[in-house]
Amino acid sequence: MKENLFGMTIAQLGKVAESEGIPAYGARQIGDWLYRKKAGTFSAMSNLPRTVRESLAAHYAIDLQPPVKVTESSDGTRKYLFAAEQGGFVEAAWIPEARRSTLCLSVQVGCKMGCLFCMTGKQGFQGQLSSGEILNQYQSLPERDTVTNIVYMGMGEPLDNLPNVLDSLEVLCADYGFGLSPTRITVSTVGLVPAMRTFLERTRCHLAVSLHTPFEEERRRLMPVENVYPLKEVLAELRRSAIHGQRRVSFEYILFDKLNDTPRHARELARILNGIRCRVNLIAFHPIPGTPLAPSPRDTMVQFEAHLREHGIMTTIRHSRGQDISAACGMLSTRELVRMKEEADR
Amino acid sequence: MYIGRVPVAGPEKLKLTRVAANQEIAPGIFMLSFPRAFDFIPGQSVWLTVDPEVPPRLYSIASGNGDALVEILYDLVPEGLLTPRLAGMREGHSLLVSSAFGPFRDEEGPSCWVAAGTGVAPFASMVRSGLVREKMLIHGSRTTAGLLHRGLFADALGDRYVPCCSREAAEGVFHGRPTEWLTLQRLPLASRYLLCGGSRMVVDCRDVIIAKGVPFESVIGEIYF
């Protein structure tokens, strides 16, 4: 099987150029064709010598996969299904708004984290996406040229696939790549501390931490990762890391009725976030099959927001989008496709 | 893949110790032990690696808290960075190990434990530490050879030990997965439920248990990431 050039960083392309016997600047030329000029074939790379183009075509591929299915929400959100190289599928969501459009992309087929409120976790973990597969969700998106913001908040835990996520972020932000501003990109995490430290050191993208309750015992029941990387360690790491300039740290907080939406929770949340320059995004819970959790009423969400603001925490209530096509926060999943494959394999 | 410096969730420093024993106890599954230099609560874990260049991974302790040796169980992952090297370790070889940490633990009172594969380790530790009264273990494996410490659990728990094999029928063994066994049962609602293993097993079992009416607050999962 030929190695996929799409998704490679400049250093990786440099090795390809070296192996092909072309000057180092050839790597930049290839990157320019792959990412800026959207070349789908080597023959299109007209400023490379013909022999090089032929040799590249003999040894490498430009593997771009269009989505295999699209579903559109009544609010305009579109959910795309992409096939993964090792089998299985991932979903990406395109969310248009008046003055921007956001792509929510996936990094893993499934997820290992097992959060109680998340549909992706219910399908288990089937595999990592390569950098090329992550970037393909952007490059092959029909609305690609309208995308202003990218969030790594689809299927999978981004920091559990750190090397490929870092490579994809480099390509998105580099001048040889897509040239996007890192301040237009947000990577979410449940709080894998060592990987979070590396991410903060090596990129300038925004970070969103899934928090969901300030109390350790409650969080353990919602998010098994609390057993390994307790929230207090996550916050300690953020305090140690220099969060400055335009970089933003946000905390995602899904509100569950009578579970984590009380004034006591708001007070404790404000207390533990004291000293961290951040914002809190309050998110309506989108019930998934079999869940024991219920969404907080809208009034409670507004009161919770007000409590946090009184304590000086910048807080917003995030609008739900794409709920009718299961594209909203925590709803992306290809579980049924996984089960169909398992049944077929038996 | 190296994803950072020494993890901060456990103690910051890994300490040098020596392998006491390392043997393959089932196809692809190993049991490794080293001298105990710290106290721990059954259910806790250690970070462990073979040298500073290989990122440490987390392993549940399988030995009792009064044992002279600390025992862990691991699956050999041929493409992994750590376990192929671990599998080659012999008595006297060097290891780097943290002290124990983690909140996954049990207490007196009724509990239902569910584990698969090496996820049985924390429950082996609990049994070896004397935590057996009112405890039940649903133990999953593809084959009977993978039912690690089966004799230990059968002796300690008697008919409260439920071995389950999905790919092999055997006497005294439920033929199916732990999820299937749980689905067939009327589960005690006042019990604690502790689950340990891979994400799919933990999530599927958690869903079944909650669907049976057990409050989700009573269900704790330890997922081997």
DSSP state of B171: T
The reply to whether CATH 2.60.120.460 applies to domain A3-61 is no
Q: Rounded to a whole number, what is the distance in Å from the CA of B51 to chain A's nearest CA? A: 17
What pLDDT is attached to residue A155? 96
Q: Rounded to a whole number, what is the distance in Å from the CA of A113 to chain B's nearest CA? A: 7
Q: Per the domain annotation, does B1 fall within a domain?
A: no
Residues of A in contact with B5 (CB under 8 A): 194, 197
Do the Cβ atoms of B199 and A159 come within 8 Å? Answer: no
DSSP state of B120: G
Q: What is the mean pLDDT of residues A131-151?
A: 97
Domain residues for the domain of B84 are 15-97
What pLDDT is attached to residue A346? 64
Do the Cβ atoms of B210 and A225 come within 8 Å? Answer: no
Tell me whether A163 touches chain B (CB under 8 Å).
yes
Query: Is residue B214 located within the same domain as residue B116?
Result: yes
- The answer to whether residue A91 is catalytic is yes
Tell me whether A229 touches chain B (CB under 8 Å).
yes
Q: Give the model confidence (pLDDT) of A1-44 as tens digits.
A: 899 999 999 999 999 999 988 888 899 999 999 999 999 999 99
Q: Rounded to a whole number, what is the distance in Å from the CA of B223 to chain A's nearest CA? A: 7
What pLDDT is attached to residue B95? 96
Q: What is the mean pLDDT of residues B53-57?
A: 90
Q: Per the domain annotation, does B44 fall within a domain?
A: yes
CB nearest to B3's CB, from A112, A195, A230: A195
What pLDDT is attached to residue B4? 33
Query: Is residue B81 located within the same domain as residue B116?
Result: no
Do the Cβ atoms of A292 and B199 come within 8 Å? Answer: no
Q: Rounded to a whole number, what is the distance in Å from the CA of B63 to chain A's nearest CA? A: 20
Q: Give the model confidence (pLDDT) of A45-103 as tens digits.
A: 999 999 999 999 999 999 999 999 999 999 999 999 999 998 899 999 999 999 999 99
Do the Cβ atoms of B223 and A224 come within 8 Å? Answer: yes
Do the Cβ atoms of B207 and A224 come within 8 Å? Answer: no
Q: Give the model confidence (pLDDT) of B85-104 as tens digits.
A: 999 999 999 999 999 999 99
Question: Across the beta sheet with B45-49, what order do the strands follow?
Answer: B15-18, B94-97, B45-49, B57-60
Q: Per the domain annotation, does B102 fall within a domain?
A: no
Do the Cβ atoms of B216 and A160 come within 8 Å? Answer: no
CATH number at residue B177: 3.40.50.80
Specify the number of domains making up chain B.
2
Q: Per the domain annotation, does B190 fall within a domain?
A: yes
Q: Per the domain annotation, does B181 fall within a domain?
A: yes
Q: What percent of chain B has pLDDT over 90?
A: 91
Query: Is residue B188 located within the same domain as residue B159?
Result: yes
Query: Is residue B35 located within the same domain as residue B130?
Result: no
Tell me whether A180 touches chain B (CB under 8 Å).
no
Tell me whether A230 touches chain B (CB under 8 Å).
yes
Do the Cβ atoms of A198 and B9 come within 8 Å? Answer: no
End-of-domain residue from the set B97, B124, B154: B97
Q: pLDDT-based confidence at B12, cuts 50/70/90?
A: low
Active-site residue (options: A20, A91, A133, A305): A91
Q: What is the mean pLDDT of residues A153-171?
A: 97
Q: What percent of chain A has pLDDT over 90?
A: 84
Suggest the residue from A215, A227, A285 to mutate for an interface test with chain B (most B CBs closer than 10 A): A227
Q: Per the domain annotation, does B182 fall within a domain?
A: yes
Residue of A nearest to B104 (CA): A227
Q: Give the model confidence (pLDDT) of A231-271 as tens digits.
A: 999 999 999 987 777 899 999 999 999 999 999 999 999 99
Q: Residue B128: is its pLDDT beyond 60?
A: yes
What pLDDT is attached to residue A165? 98
Suggest the residue from A228, A233, A291 to mutate for an interface test with chain B (most B CBs closer than 10 A): A228
Tell me whether A339 touches chain B (CB under 8 Å).
no
Write down the domain spans for chain A: 3-61, 69-345
End-of-domain residue from the set B40, B63, B97: B97
Q: Residue A219: is its pLDDT beyond 80?
A: yes
Q: Rounded to a whole number, what is the distance in Å from the CA of A265 to chain B's nearest CA? A: 17
Q: Please state which CATH number belongs to domain A69-345.
A: 3.20.20.70
Q: Residue B53: is its pLDDT beyond 60?
A: yes
Query: Is residue B140 located within the same domain as residue B200?
Result: yes
Query: Is residue B178 located within the same domain as residue B91?
Result: no
Size of interface A-B (CB pairs under 8 A): 91
Do the Cβ atoms of B210 and A290 come within 8 Å? Answer: yes
Q: Per the domain annotation, does B7 fall within a domain?
A: no
Query: Is residue B217 located within the same domain as residue B129?
Result: yes
* Cα-based torsion angle of the residue sequence A81, A83, A89, A95 in order, rounded to the nearest 10 degrees: -30
Q: What is the mean pLDDT of residues B1-29?
A: 71
- The answer to whether residue A115 is catalytic is no
Query: Is residue B117 located within the same domain as residue B218?
Result: yes
Active-site residue (options: A115, A118, A205, A329): A329
Q: Chain-wide mean pLDDT for chain A?
A: 93
Tell me whether A257 touches chain B (CB under 8 Å).
no
What pLDDT is attached to residue B9? 40
Q: pLDDT-based confidence at B7, cuts 50/70/90?
A: very low
Q: Per the domain annotation, does B80 fall within a domain?
A: yes
Decide if A327 contacts A321 (C-beta within 8 A).
Answer: yes
Query: Is residue B150 located within the same domain as residue B214?
Result: yes
Q: pLDDT-based confidence at B10, cuts 50/70/90?
A: very low
What pLDDT is attached to residue A329? 77
CB nearest to B102's CB, from A124, A194, A227: A227
Give chain A as a 3 state SS string. Answer: CCEECCCCCHHHHHHHHHHCCCCCHHHHHHHHHHHHCCCCCHHHCCCCCHHHHHHHHHHEECCCCCCCEEEECCCCCEEEEEECCCCCEEEEEEEECCCCEEEECCCEEECCCCCCCCCHHHHCEEEECCHHHHHHHHHCCCCHHHCCEEEECCCCCHHHHHHHHHHHHHHHHCCCCCCCCHHHEEEEECCCHHHHHHHHHHCCCEEEEECCCCCHHHHHHHCHHHHCCCHHHHHHHHHHCCCCCCCCEEEEEEEECCCCCCHHHHHHHHHHHCCCCEEEEEEECCCCCCCCCCECCHHHHHHHHHHHHHCCCEEEECCCCCHHHCCCCCCCCCHHHHHHHHHHHC
Residue of A nearest to B197 (CA): A112
Q: Rounded to a whole number, what is the distance in Å from the CA of B35 to chain A's nearest CA? A: 24
Residue of A nearest to B222 (CA): A224
Do the Cβ atoms of A112 and B199 come within 8 Å? Answer: yes
Do the Cβ atoms of B199 and A236 come within 8 Å? Answer: no
Q: Chain-wide mean pLDDT for chain B?
A: 93
What pLDDT is attached to residue A290? 87
Query: Is residue B132 located within the same domain as residue B176?
Result: yes
